[in-house]
Chain A
Amino acid sequence: MTDTTWDASKPILEIENLSISFFTRMREIPAVMDFSCSVMAGESMGLVGESGCGKSTVALAVLRDLGKNGRIVSGTIKFKGRDLTHMGDEELRHIRGSEIAMIYQEPMASLNPAMKIGAQLAEVPMIHQGMAKEDAWKLARQIIADVRLPDPDRILHAYPHQLSGGQQQRIVIAMALMSKPALLILDEPTTALDVTVEAGIVDLVKDLGTKYGTSMLFISHNLGLILDVCDRLCVMYSGEAVETGNVIEVFDKMRHPYTQALFRSIPLPGADKNTHPLVAIPGNFPLPHERPPGCNFGPRCDYFKDGLCNAAEVPMFPVPGDDRHATRCFRWTEIDWEAPMTLKASKPKTPIGKVVLKMEDLKKYYSVSSGGFGSGTTKVVKANETLSFEAREGETLAIVGESGCGKSTFAKVLMGLETATSGSILLFDENVQSTPIQQRNTDTVSSVQMVFQNPFDTLNPSMNVGRQIIRALEIFKQGKSDEERHARMLELLDLVKLPRAFAERMPRQLSGGQKQRVGIARAFAGGAKVVVADEPVSALDVSVQAAVTDLLMDIQRENKTTLLFISHDLSIVRYLSDRVMVMYLGHVVEMGTTDQVFQPPYHPYTEALLSAVPIADTKVIRKRIVLEGDIPSAMNPPPGCPFQTRCRWKSLVPGGLCDVEMPPVKMLEGGHQVKCHLSDNVLATMEPVIKVAAE
């Protein structure tokens, strides 16, 4: 449904001075203040910011779906010249789904579990164009093929739960494209997906945007993705747009202190935990009802000037000479933007000591029976296959891989939550592979601890912080009396750089980063020697990630802890790890020092993984390798090499060896291991995936 009267040279979407508040019984909570932006036809606009900055609220306001409590207080949202803020329900309904469509963060939750995919897709043209049912289903089939899903006929008649996460997201995209909307809103469309799947989705979105000439509003917290997808961006902080402009200009010539701080807190290639540590943004994100007067970023800003920044509301200042570049900062002309970042004192490298943990041929199989009553067949899920490695004192070993690769199973076996099927784990010269945690002695338990992924769920909500740490001390038999333990608890709070007063606080009063610090304090309560950190920062905002990562590194330096850092985020892995182990479908496909793994020769999977990670640096040139298809199920792995179904180098192995035989572990220079059939000559021809262009 294209509006022929619309002049294409004017913006498709024009938001002016938009303010949105949520009304609770207690008070009015302003969520978005004075927000303006415009999206031209065919343009893609990125909205970046940390959680709670109001970026999703803006998106939902465009669709006028703010719920019962949310209300647009002032300002206008013009779509093709029509004001959406004063539109009636019926009129809105004709725009939703037909001219403005949305793609959501969690594909599984956004699809109706009880309706067939075809019915959910066909509904859109049936509502908006009054299309006949058969035609609508035909169109749905065609669009499914357009979003590059295999076997469209099967998918039409499938239910959402029968598809993988990546396929579901493609369906959500297909649904949004069913009526060729003029504007597409994407709310963190790839956050719930694995990086290699994300790369496929991002490519698809970009191609479709060009193909249909759709404008996009792309919401993300990932600056790298924004660089990949968008033409323009708008950085938001605490309900306000702080900087807006062309993506390249904002990335290279940022003119707002928050944008600058954000870039300095994310690990870009070249950052290093010892010589170029990340700079975390000090302080915390202000709560919506506790915003400071004047500039919201003032209290955390390095350039803060009393009497100026906290005196009056800051308007947007245009940056002359640039393409619609504007910043919300009084001092932007005074700040020397080219000044190099004041480096924190570089820290000495932690000396690597003796071997503390050694795994040999560790295997963990699960048997899964399908169907009850003995009639079902038992299947074996090989979660870990012949895992062998050692970790030394003071070392950071990163374990990298996508969901389902067996990295969490490995952690469970090490912790004793599961016992190994075969193989051995030597922890301080003691075999623990078949000792479940209940039978381990307190020493062993307290010396191997874990920091969990989601700090929001791992603290007991009804126990104060101090009590939870003391409880850990009691379990680890630390301290002789309650007083001693209390004193030790306060020391632990110091260790994780939390104020001592936090001992009395309840978990709900803490922010995500603070909760994760409590989690770390608890892990170190018994003087842990080996700490397994399972994605410790992936649930946190970027500005907090840097601080928590730094903290972990500092504690490691002090205590000579061995850190097993499980992550899917290669940027952070490159930043902090000494050695890297890449896992795929339960196998270690590559292992070596960080430099070895991040430079060619790569294992083909590592190569794809590296190329899939978006990097927020305009100077980095990345080779795009998009893997076809999904990760095979661990229940039914392919024969031969586990990666052969998606490998782009497969044809270079003579005799179809990849299909039949599991590749041996190939030792390259300096202890670098690769599990691949490719010959040394072929491996030597590999080019680096990431190149930093000369300045």
Chain B
Amino acid sequence: MLKFVARRLGVMVLTALALTFVVFYLTNLPPNLEKLARTEGSVRMTDQAVASWIENNGHGGSVFGRYAQWLGVAPGWVLTDDKGVTRGRCIRAGTDPAAASSYCGVLQGEWGFSTVFKKPVLESVLQKLGSTGWLMLWVMIVMVPTSLLMGVLSGMREGSRTDRGLSIIAIATTATPEYVSGVILVAVFASVTAGVSPILHEWGWISTKTLFLGTATSAMDNITFWNFALPVLTIALYGIGYIARMTRASMTEVMVQQYIRTARLKGVRFRDVVMRHALRNALIAPFTVIMLQFPWLLNGVVITEALFNYKGFGWTLVQAAGNNDIDLLLGCSVVAVLVVLVTQLISDIGYVFLNPRIRLA
């Protein structure tokens, strides 16, 4: 088991290096750097000035060298300009160049400085990731049990009325994108003029103007049912349908297996046939899908966070991309890569536990 995990970790590191390099390469393409030079320096810089700005700010040289510096495995650039001021990747303005360490990259915890938020990248990314983490946690808490229950219930008796009913719900929710379901939810539950809120308010059942809050900004500090239910539901609805369909397919397949017949003809109660014999085998496929939902959620929250004005990871990503904030963008991608790889590791390990046929060498 340890050997397996160690091997997987090795593969993960390689994958992470490859992926971050791709992102690094794309964000550091010459046009991006030019744009950066013009925003940092002056918009009316001559092409020559832009070139020298790029050179002087450590963006020149080979892309591999710069990647190594960013990573922290090569010494950061140090330049002394004609005025005798020594600047460098690792030298903060106003500090003694001699005292600065020569390596400062992601590995040393130096993730760079965000030009949008005017604070270190690591700090802002972690803070935003925390916010999104809460959102994801609640989405998972709502989505996973609901969808598994729906999938198992409809899959255990294929073609029954329960199956048909649940299938319709699952297909409907998964066919509705978040920007549609989000808007519908807001309109129905969080609008002063439409949906149920005005009626409830008129009857005096709710003291506030709307039943739910249409914005989740307040949830950044204090999560309550009323400010968080709608964004959670918006994201969860789509996933519920998807996972429920996967579970149903897997469950129907398992229910016609011969070992289910064996269990039935052993005299096992139908409930126990489902719970003890079918469930574990049926969960193998959906488990992988559920673990794949984490990276999907990380990016899927972009729309929902924008819609409900919740300043999380997705929102940050949009800001970084929109403002050509290279360091922030890189930071976000590192986090995304790590989340993907870690969840996949968990998924693989869990898969082994669910499916004893997979042997670990």
Interface residues of A (CB under 8 A from B): 63, 65, 68, 93-98, 101-102, 104, 106, 109-115, 123-124, 127-128, 159, 161, 172, 175, 370-373, 375-376
Residue picked from B257, B268, B354, most chain A C-beta under 10 Å: B268
> Given A109-B258, A112-B277, A115-B277, A161 and B264 touching (CB < 8 A)?
no
> What secondary structure prevails in chain A residues at the interface with B?
loop
* Contact present for A123 and B281 (CB under 8 Å): no
Please give 9 more A-B residue pairs, beta carbons under 8 A apart, in addition to A63-B265, A109-B258, A123-B266: A101-B266, A104-B262, A110-B259, A110-B262, A111-B262, A115-B276, A115-B280, A159-B357, A373-B10
Q: Number of residue pairs across A and B with beta carbons under 8 Å?
A: 81
Q: Mark B3-15, 1 if CB is under 8 A from A, else 0.
A: 1000100110000
Nearest CB of chain B from residue A99's CB, rounded to whole Å: 9
9 contacts between A and B (CB under 8 A): A65-B261, A93-B268, A96-B264, A96-B266, A96-B267, A102-B265, A104-B261, A175-B266, A375-B7
Residues of B within 8 A of A63 (CB): 265
Q: Mark B78-115, 1 if CB is under 8 A from A, else 0.
A: 00000000000000000000000000000000000000
Nearest CB of chain A from residue B247's CB, rounded to whole Å: 16
CB-nearest residue of chain B relative to A113? Answer: B357
* Contact present for A110 and B267 (CB under 8 Å): no
* Contact present for A111 and B267 (CB under 8 Å): no
Nearest CB of chain B from residue A62's CB, rounded to whole Å: 10
Q: Mark B242-284, 1 if CB is under 8 A from A, else 0.
A: 0000000000000001110111111111000000110011000
* Contact present for A114 and B263 (CB under 8 Å): no
B52 at the interface (CB under 8 A from A): no
Q: A97, A109, A371: which contacts B265 (Cβ < 8 A)?
A: A97
* Contact present for A114 and B354 (CB under 8 Å): yes
Residue picked from A97, A98, A128, A375, most chain B C-beta under 10 Å: A97
Q: When chains A and B are docked, how far (Å) is the Cα of A172 from the Cα of B257?
A: 15
* Contact present for B280 and A114 (CB under 8 Å): yes
CB-nearest residue of chain B relative to A98? Answer: B267
CB-nearest residue of chain B relative to A121? Answer: B266
B2 at the interface (CB under 8 A from A): no
CB-nearest residue of chain B relative to A105? Answer: B258
Q: When chains A and B are docked, how far (Å) is the Cα of A68 from the Cα of B3?
A: 48
B361 at the interface (CB under 8 A from A): yes
Nearest CB of chain A from residue B8's CB, rounded to whole Å: 10
* Contact present for B266 and A161 (CB under 8 Å): no
CB-nearest residue of chain A relative to B354? Answer: A114
Q: B3, B7, B259: which contacts A111 (Cβ < 8 A)?
A: B259
Interface residues of B (CB under 8 A from A): 3, 7, 10-11, 159, 257-259, 261-269, 276-277, 280-281, 354-357, 361
Nearest CB of chain B from residue A691's CB, rounded to whole Å: 40
* Contact present for A97 and B266 (CB under 8 Å): yes
* Contact present for B281 and A127 (CB under 8 Å): no
Residues of A within 8 A of B361 (CB): 370-372, 375-376
Nearest CB of chain A from residue B260's CB, rounded to whole Å: 8
Residues of B within 8 A of A124 (CB): 266-267
Residues of B within 8 A of A123 (CB): 266, 268, 276
Q: When chains A and B are docked, how far (Å) is the Cα of A97 from the Cα of B354?
A: 27
Residue picked from B257, B259, B264, B276, most chain A C-beta under 10 Å: B259
Nearest CB of chain A from residue B268's CB, rounded to whole Å: 6
Q: Which 8 pairs show the lowest CB-CB distances between chains A and B?
A: A371-B361, A97-B267, A97-B266, A109-B258, A96-B267, A159-B356, A112-B259, A114-B280
Residue picked from B3, B267, B269, B281, most chain A C-beta under 10 Å: B267
Residues of A within 8 A of B261 (CB): 65, 104, 110
Q: When chains A and B are docked, how far (Å) is the Cα of A371 from the Cα of B360?
A: 8
Nearest CB of chain A from residue B115's CB, rounded to whole Å: 41
Residues of B within 8 A of A127 (CB): 266-269
Q: B267, B276, B277: which contacts A94 (Cβ < 8 A)?
A: B267
CB-nearest residue of chain A relative to B278? Answer: A112
* Contact present for A114 and B266 (CB under 8 Å): no
Residues of A within 8 A of B266 (CB): 96-97, 101, 123-124, 127, 175
Q: When chains A and B are docked, how far (Å) is the Cα of A93 from the Cα of B270?
A: 10
Residues of A within 8 A of B268 (CB): 93, 97, 123, 127
Residues of B within 8 A of A101 (CB): 265-266
> Given A109-B258, A371-B361, A376-B361, A114 and B355 touching (CB < 8 A)?
yes
Nearest CB of chain A from residue B82's CB, rounded to whole Å: 53
Residues of B within 8 A of A98 (CB): 267
Nearest CB of chain B from residue A93's CB, rounded to whole Å: 5
Nearest CB of chain B from residue A103's CB, rounded to whole Å: 10
CB-nearest residue of chain B relative to A94? Answer: B267
Q: When chains A and B are docked, how far (Å) is the Cα of A175 from the Cα of B259?
A: 12
Q: When chains A and B are docked, how far (Å) is the Cα of A289 from the Cα of B267?
A: 34
Q: When chains A and B are docked, how far (Å) is the Cα of A278 from the Cα of B338?
A: 70
Q: When chains A and B are docked, how far (Å) is the Cα of A93 from the Cα of B261?
A: 13
CB-nearest residue of chain B relative to A376? Answer: B361
Residue picked from A93, A106, A375, most chain B C-beta under 10 Å: A93
Q: When chains A and B are docked, how far (Å) is the Cα of A611 from the Cα of B258?
A: 32
Q: When chains A and B are docked, how far (Å) is the Cα of A373 from the Cα of B10?
A: 10
Q: A112, A372, A376: which contacts B263 (Cβ < 8 A)?
A: A112
Q: B3, B11, B264, B356: which contacts A113 (Cβ < 8 A)?
A: B356
